[in-house]
Amino acid sequence: MPDPGGAPTPYIPNTDADRAAMLARLELTDLDTLFDELPLAHRDPAIALPEALAEADLIRLLRDRAAENGSGGRLSFLGAGAYRRAIPAVTGQLTSRSEFVTSYTPYQPEVSQGTLQAAFEYQSVVCELTGMDVSNTGMYDGASATAEACMLAARATRRSAVALLEPIDPRVADVVRTYAYGANIRVDTIPADADVAGALGDEHAALVAQQPDFLGGIRDLAPLTEAAHAAGALCVVAADPFALAMLRSPGDAGADIVTGEGRDLAGPPGLGGPSLGLFAAREPLLRQMPGRIVGRTRELHGPPGDDGTPGAPRTGYVLTLQAREQFIRRERATSNFSTGQSLIALAFTITVQALGPAGMRRSAERCYQAAHAAAARIDALDGYAVLDHGPWFQEFLVHAPLPPAALTRALAERGIEGGLDVSARAEPEARDASLFCVTEATHVRDVDALIAALIEIGATA
């Protein structure tokens, strides 16, 4: 688009001949004619920028703006997909090393063995947590990973519908519907109290279940996988990898694909991102999986020594099982993403491996115990009740003397982010309820402050 003086913009490197050819193809005489539909005042509006600041003043301004994004020291009992975890200090220390700051899954494995080894370790950790045979190197987030799982199921089964089992995170469901719309796949919803086997038909490619579910409940996955397989569908489990340290793995329960959000084990939630989508599957689905997969191999002969004899074979890491066209040719691709999650995947891997299997389980158990202890204290308060709707992990439903929206406002006035208002959901147990979350990173003093605030609010309700 030309500037007010008529000269072409320097940021679009079209030659005069290029522009003339395009205008001729459009049967137009000049660029002004091309933009006739736009009012003149909006074609190249002036931008009212403030005067330049001195460096010190600019730094002060940016610090002030950054502080506006913070919680202001508020205590938080929100969960619903983003959780505070007790991350080992070693995670931040190692991921801040310069060799990892620009980590990226490369096309030239011979010069990037460290990066590829880290990706291989990540895949191994994900497979161990989920009970699956193979994992990719990470996806944008848990929601898009679940949507990609539905797309894979549709390709693998050649069916045109998927079913989401409630209660499921509504944001995940929205992303699945967005992906499905473009692929002409129908998305059905199965209520929590419905007969799952009866709700699935021969048009369904997948049954999607969340573990734990959106209201915090722990599911028995085995009957769900059996129902899905009986209908000829795949079972997709959108799981919290932290909870899987304590729960039965989806793979052991018969699931075909497991997705999840790994950001929480990489670092604290930060204004919505960056995120890390986990994606693991059974071996027969390997060729249909989106994303990059790193393999480990060994040389037949090691590098020759000074005397010319071969040395010991070395271990090597390579991108495997998928052609490069998977990522650069749309008609051959199973997905549209690259490897922007490599650094987050590395942090996830360091956290899990630093804790180890026993440490992960102990952390998950502390989370479970802390949440149930806090829930018991709230349930003992006059006017409050914690709903008993089966086993749950770290989130619980609370009925209060005030409606959920009023309770949220009252807690906010006291510097506390209360539970999520879920009263609009269809599940009977969610009506007039707030969804509170307590994790292993929630200090007992935070719970004391919440209890004191709830007592004060209840006394004035």
pLDDT in tens, 255-286: 999 999 999 999 887 766 688 999 999 999 99
- In CATH terms, 75-84+356-460 corresponds, of 3.40.50.1100, 3.90.1150.10, 3.40.50.2300, 3.40.190.10, to 3.90.1150.10
Within 8 A by CB and 6+ apart from 454, the residues are 378, 381, 384, 400, 411
Within 8 A by CB and 6+ apart from 332, the residues are 323, 325, 326
- Is it the case that residue 6 has pLDDT exceeding 60? no
Closest to 429 (Cα-Cα) out of 214, 243, 209: 214
Confidence band (pLDDT; 50, 70, 90) for 1? Answer: very low
More confident residue, 16 or 177: 177
pLDDT digits (tens, 9 = 90+) for 96-105: 888 776 656 5
Q: Are 366 and 393 in contact (CB under 8 A)?
A: no
| 399 three-state secondary structure | strand
* The pLDDT value given to residue 325: 47
Cβ density class 277-313: b for 16+ within 10 Å, e for less: bbbbbbeebeeebbbbbbeeeeeeeeeeeeeeeeeee
- Least confident among 44-58, 157-171, 248-262: 44-58
Rounded mean pLDDT of 85-90?
93
Instruction: For tokens 């709700």, name the residue.
Output: 199
* The pLDDT value given to residue 342: 82
Rounded mean pLDDT of 435-460?
94
Q: Are 259 and 145 in contact (CB under 8 A)?
A: yes
Rounded mean pLDDT of 359-384?
96
Identity of the highest mean pLDDT range in 1-5, 44-48, 101-105, 221-225: 221-225
- Is it the case that residue 145 has pLDDT exceeding 60? yes
Longest dimension (CA), the chain: 88
Task: Could you please state the CATH topology (level 3) that the domain comprising 89-350 is classified under.
Answer: Aspartate Aminotransferase; domain 2 (3.40.640)
More confident residue, 235 or 107: 235
- CA-CA distance, 80 to 74, in Å (whole number)? 18
Amino acid at 236: V
240 conformational bin, left if phi > 0, alpha if psi -120 to 50, beta if neither: beta
Q: Considering the chain, what percentage of its residues have pLDDT values greater than 90?
A: 62
pLDDT averaged over the chain? 88
Rounded mean pLDDT of 37-44?
84
More confident residue, 94 or 45: 94
Confidence band (pLDDT; 50, 70, 90) for 330? Answer: low
Closest to 355 (Cα-Cα) out of 85, 72, 152: 85
Domain ranges (residues) in the chain: 1-49, 75-84+356-460, 89-350
Q: Give the number of other CB atoms < 10 A from CB of residue 224.
A: 24
Q: How far is CA 452 from CA 56, 76, 167, 381, 416, in A?
A: 43, 15, 31, 10, 11
* The pLDDT value given to residue 213: 96
Beta-bridge mates of residue 258: 237, 280
